[in-house]
Amino acid sequence: MRLLRAVVVLVLGFLAVGSLAACGSEHQGANSDPDQVDAVDVPVSGLCRDLTPDDVARTANATKTIDCASRHTAETYATGRLPEEFDDAGYDDADLGTYAYRTCSEKFAEFVGADESLVLRTTLSWAWFRPSEKAWGKGARWYRCDVIGGNTASREYRALPKTARGMLGGRPNDSWLSCASGPTVAEGEKVPCSQKHDWRAVTTVKLGQPTDAYPGDRVMESRTRSFCANSVKAWLNYPSEFEYGFTFFHQAEWKAGIRRSVCWAKTAK
């Protein structure tokens, strides 16, 4: 057996979104709808937009909605009012990001039909948005979760089907599963598994319970390496030699609720 150590840190949606303050239409995405810019009311779910990575990097978004039958890269799958504990919170309150992550990630898995493992192995992701700072100052306290046709490694997003509801249920299409092309997972380019690749994210391993404290990077790496060796070997049907890589997450992701690491098999299939 040959071991390839490939440690990759994936940045999740709530860590990628929300670092910039939003104020005015020029800060809420291209092609903004003036009626959405400083909206106080909770957004409507089930609407579609053509968002870009630049749009998703912003705290608030007011991009005009479009017919879901036309080309779009984002679909709103959950909206709601924030809990009362945030009524007096600051606009960039760190607990707001944690709440949004847990809420949007749970609803994302349910919406697309993915289990806890598949959520970490898909090229789909989600983004969340809050009101503009002006609307926040007026008392607006809502969140919006959008499924996105790409992830934080994507230079551009891919078009989604008319609705993303249930699209990962059953046997997902390889075009929405995560693979990598390159000598290692860490150095390789992340690509859909429908494209030529050298690595496939095949399984995940659970490393803790919801109430467990973060064990530290060294323990996470050691456990991940050991568990992934066994998991990938089983996935490959117990060959005498094989190569594998792994992804483990760090304290920030652990705090947000991630308790799994991702295991990658060296395979062109």
Tens-place pLDDT, residues 188-235:
899 999 999 999 999 999 999 999 999 999 999 999 999 999 999 999
Q: Which residue among 93, 113, 148 closes a domain?
A: 148
pLDDT at 255: 86
Range with top average pLDDT, 110-119, 148-157, 250-259? 110-119
Over range 28-41, report the average pLDDT: 88
Cβ neighbours of 171 (radius 10 Å) = 6
The amino acid that residue 252 corresponds to is A
Domain assignment present for 155: no
Q: Residue 10 — pLDDT band, cuts 50, 70, 90?
A: very low
Alpha helix segments (H runs only) across the chain: 13-16, 34-37, 53-56, 94-112, 116-119, 133-137, 217-235, 251-256
Say whether both 17 and 143 belong to one domain. yes
Q: State mean pLDDT over 51-63.
A: 94
Tokens of 88: 């007096």
Residues 114 and 216 grouped into a single domain = no
Q: Examine residue 54 and state whether it is found in any structural domain, yes or no.
A: yes
Does a structural domain hold residue 160? Answer: no
C-alpha span between 269 and 267 (Å, rounded): 5
> How confident is the model over 84-113, as pLDDT tens digits?
999 999 999 999 998 999 999 999 999 999
Q: What is the pLDDT of residue 21?
A: 32
Task: Choose the final residue of a domain: 148, 166, 193.
Answer: 148
In this predicted structure, what is the pLDDT of residue 117? 95
Inter-CA distances, 249 with 154, 156, 200, 242, 255, Å: 19, 24, 18, 24, 10
Q: Cα–Cα–Cα angle for 227, 236, 254, nearest 5°?
A: 30
pLDDT band per the 50, 70, 90 thresholds, residue 243: very high
Q: Which residue is listed with tokens 């912003």?
A: 58
Specify if 262 maps to a domain.
yes
Q: Are 112 and 176 in contact (CB under 8 A)?
A: no
Which position has the higher pLDDT, 5 or 59? 59
User: How would you label 17-51 residue by residue, b for 16+ Cβ within 10 Å and e otherwise?
Assistant: bbeeebbebebbbeebbeebbbbeebbebebbbbb
What was the pLDDT predicted at 15?
33
Domain count, the chain: 2
3-state helix, strand, coil in the chain (%, to 5): 30, 20, 50
Same domain, 21 and 76: yes
Distance between CA atoms of residues 247 and 261, nearest Å: 6
- Top pLDDT among 47 and 268 is at 47
Domain that holds residue 91: 13-148
Identify whether 20 is part of a domain.
yes
- Is 34 a member of any domain? yes
At 1, the pLDDT band (50, 70, 90 cuts) reads very low
Q: How confident is the model over 158-177, as a mean pLDDT?
A: 95
Inform me whether the pLDDT recorded for 72 exceeds 90.
yes
Tell me whether residue 166 is in a domain: no
pLDDT at 27: 67
Q: How far apart are CA 221 and CA 34, in angstroms?
A: 48
What is the spatial distance between Cα 62 and Cα 24, in angstroms, rounded to a whole number?
10
On the question of pLDDT at 8 being above 70, the answer is no
Cα gap 146→13, rounded to integer Å: 10
Q: Are 16 and 152 in contact (CB under 8 A)?
A: yes
CA atoms within 13 A on the CB side of 139: 1
Residue 26 amino acid letter: E
Q: Is the dihedral of CA 238, 240, 242, 247 positive or negative?
A: positive
